[in-house]
Amino acid sequence: MRKLLIGAGAAMALALAGAFAATIFAQQRAEREVAAAFEAIRAAGATATHGKVEFDLWSRTLRVADVVVQPAGTTPAGLKAARLVATGVGRPAPGRLSAQRIEIDDLALEATVAAPAGLAMSYRAPRIVVTDYAGPAGPVGRLDTSSMLALSRIAVAQLVATSAGTVTLPALTARFSPGKAANGMPVAPIDYAYAGIEIRGIGGGRVAGASIEKVAFTSPGANGTGAIAGELAGVAVVEVDAAAALATLSPEGAKDERAHTIYGEVTAGAYTASLGDGVRMRIEGMILKELGLVPAKVPLAEIVALVEHAPAPGTPPSRAATRAILETVARLYDGLTLGRLEMRGLAMTLPDGGFRLAALRLESLSGGRLAELALEGLEAETGQKQPVRVARFALQGLDLAGLMRASAQLDRIGAQPTPGDVAALVKLLDGVALEGLVAPYQKTDKLVEVDRVAVAWARYVGPTPTQLRLSARMTGPIDLTDAEPFSLLAATGFDRATVALDLGTDWSAETRAFTIAPAAIEIADLAAVRATVAVGNVASDLFSLDPVRVIQAAAGVEAGPVEISLRDMGGLELAIRQYAAARGLARDAALAELTGELNQSAEVLTQASPDLAPLFAAAARFLETPGGTLTVKATPNARVPLMELLGLAPDQALAALSRFTIEASVRRGP
């Protein structure tokens, strides 16, 4: 029994000694591993130090105190952490580290952008918690703050090589200090405070989602600009593709013509800001969908150069620098892709007024062109406190990249652009639409209402669009001082009139036909006129900006068929009654007198031009058909040069009608 007890005691002593030795060995190995990791950081071009290292073998918990990393480079930068604790540490593969949980306390990051102004940035995070981490044991590349582009590549590459379940930061503060202005005066810093940051599902170069409960910013202002402050709540990000960002940043990106979506969706809640001097702003919510890049089209080197050589705040760039900025921004637009950006519930309060906007939308940016930029639900006031409302205003097919290039080009040629330079600006836009405009008429309390105005153009020949469509409908006040036919309406008691316009043009290169259809105008309660006009043998030179070529092309244009319809909408009855009142006649007597005068004119004119007889006969029937429609058609009997017709003297015009077949008809209703 005694020997058994001695043996058991010896075994326990050996076990304790082994455990103690294993703990010591694990501690020593942990210290070597940490030293190797910091040596890898130093090998990447940074200085790196740390304090005490502790390792608990049984819980596989590693503790490292007083971490300091300072990347190489000419600009100040550094990272510090008071303590790093990793639980459930493992080595899944050479050069990689895993941990079930990592806690970082009192993280501080500082950097200065190498620019004349010297933009200094600093971040503070009291606590960071990472779960299910797996990633490189050291930097994946050289840390050099003298190259912002290279440092960005390393940061994104590090993220692509890392996986984690979650990253949470209960709080984060940041400060941006722009340095000094050109006059030597300091530029006010901006402080940001983030709360409730969480990043989820990091792996495979993607981030499943991220959220921020609140972001607040403040700045004391400088040089009398006043303090600013603001807050943004409820930021959420879904589907971030870091690998796509890395493809853009890498040197191989110059060959990648594919579009990569970086952010699947970003949403945010209410944003409020106080900008000083009584200016207030509020946005109820925002959403961004499918923001991406085409790596080959993004001018990264030029963007970095512009940032690094930017003038100090308050110093305007030179004209050459301005052109370089515009051309670089144009190339950036070429490389950006966007599904949709929408801001809802915008409100701006200004010292002398303000406005509200229900929504601002940007739809589908690709190849530098935005499908639509729309403002909806605008409410504002004039300087006289009169209301102005716009239901919707939209720019369609806006070429943002082309606009930047055109601005640079106009700046280059100076203050005297050619007609071609000006005409080229038309190509920057496909159309404009306005709906529901209500505004005061001049300085009265009467209102002008624009139901809609829509203009679109396409099919260019050189700088000139050959396809045009215009439609409009508006209502406004009228009185007796207005010209006909509005004075006619005013004389019968109307104080408002509604006018609608519709115009379309098109040209076919195959048939060389140019058509105006429709060409219509409608005045409510009076009449509507609608026409279709066609001309033939229209050469493309007619759309040139060279006047010599235009004149030569115009000589070959031939008149085509023309059809005009006049629909009575109450104007005929108003005209008859006004005629009757002016002459003291009864309504029917006035109609008979008007018909007689028309017939007398027909007898005189048809003697010289018998072809006009059907027209006058139809006109007489039209006078006797309230609410009817008069239609007149003129078709060339043979080739009729248009310029020859336009050059005829008034007394020759009737004779020229013999070269056309004229048809006229009247029907009831539209």
Average pLDDT over residues 422-428: 85
First to last CA, the chain: 123
- Pick the most confident of 14-18, 96-100, 607-611, 663-667: 663-667
User: Which of residues 226 and 280 earns the better pLDDT score?
Assistant: 280
The helix, strand and coil proportions of the chain, stated in percent and rounded to the nearest 5, come to: 30, 45, 25
User: Quick one: pLDDT at residue 14?
Assistant: 32
Per-residue pLDDT tens over the stretch 33-80? 777 777 877 877 778 888 998 888 778 888 999 999 887 665 667 889
User: Quick one: pLDDT at residue 612?
Assistant: 83
Strand locations in 178-322, DSSP E?
190-203, 206-219, 228-241, 260-268, 271-276, 279-293
Averaged pLDDT score across all residues of the chain: 85
**Beta strand 336-350 pairing with 353-366:** antiparallel
Of 35-44, 309-318, 392-401, give the lowest mean pLDDT range.
309-318
Strand locations in 72-184, DSSP E?
77-87, 96-112, 120-136, 164-177
pLDDT classification of 317: cutoffs 50, 70, 90: confident
Average pLDDT over residues 579-600: 88
User: Quick one: pLDDT at residue 433?
Assistant: 97
Q: Check whether 663 has a pLDDT greater than 80.
A: yes
User: Which of residues 131 and 56 earns the better pLDDT score?
Assistant: 131
Q: Check whether 636 has a pLDDT greater than 60.
A: yes
d(CA 257, CA 248): 10
Q: Are 104 and 81 in contact (CB under 8 A)?
A: yes
Average pLDDT over residues 323-328: 90
Nearest CA among 23, 49, 17, 14 for reference residue 34 = 49
Both tokens assigned to 278: 């009584």
User: Quick one: pLDDT at residue 183?
Assistant: 54
Q: Are 229 and 218 in contact (CB under 8 A)?
A: yes
Per-residue pLDDT tens over the stretch 191-211? 999 999 999 999 988 999 999
Q: How far is CA 401 from the centre of its chain?
A: 11
Place of tokens 């209960």: 170
pLDDT classification of 360: cutoffs 50, 70, 90: very high
Q: Check whether 19 has a pLDDT greater than 70.
A: no
Q: Check whether 593 has a pLDDT greater than 80.
A: yes
Burial of 143 (0-12, 13-18, 19+ CB in 10 A): buried
Average pLDDT over residues 323-342: 93
Q: Please work out, in degrees rounded to the nearest 5, the angle formed at the alpha carbon of residue 626 by the alpha carbons of 625 and 629.
A: 70
DSSP state of 385: S
User: Quick one: pLDDT at residue 23?
Assistant: 44
Three-state SS letters, 48-87 = EECCCEEEECCCCEEEEEEEEEEEECCCCEEEEEEEEEEE
Of 361-370, 412-421, 446-455, 635-644, give the lowest mean pLDDT range.
412-421
Q: Are 188 and 176 in contact (CB under 8 A)?
A: no
User: Quick one: pLDDT at residue 27?
Assistant: 61
Q: Which amino acid is at 64?
A: V
d(CA 563, CA 518): 10
Average pLDDT over residues 117-136: 87
Q: What is the share, in percent, of the chain residues with pLDDT greater than 90?
A: 46
Instruction: Note if the pTM is more than 0.95.
Output: no
Per-residue pLDDT tens over the stretch 284-294? 999 999 999 99
Strand partners for 346: 283, 357
Average pLDDT over residues 183-188: 64
d(CA 576, CA 591): 6
Q: Check whether 25 has a pLDDT greater than 60.
A: no
Q: Give the containing element (helix H, strand E) for 438.
A: strand 431-440
Both tokens assigned to 413: 């040629």
Q: Check whether 375 has a pLDDT greater than 50.
A: yes
Among left, alpha and beta (phi > 0; psi -120 to 50; other), residue 608 is alpha
Q: Are 123 and 173 in contact (CB under 8 A)?
A: yes
User: Quick one: pLDDT at residue 92?
Assistant: 63
pLDDT classification of 6: cutoffs 50, 70, 90: very low
Nearest CA among 106, 249, 115 for reference residue 178 = 115
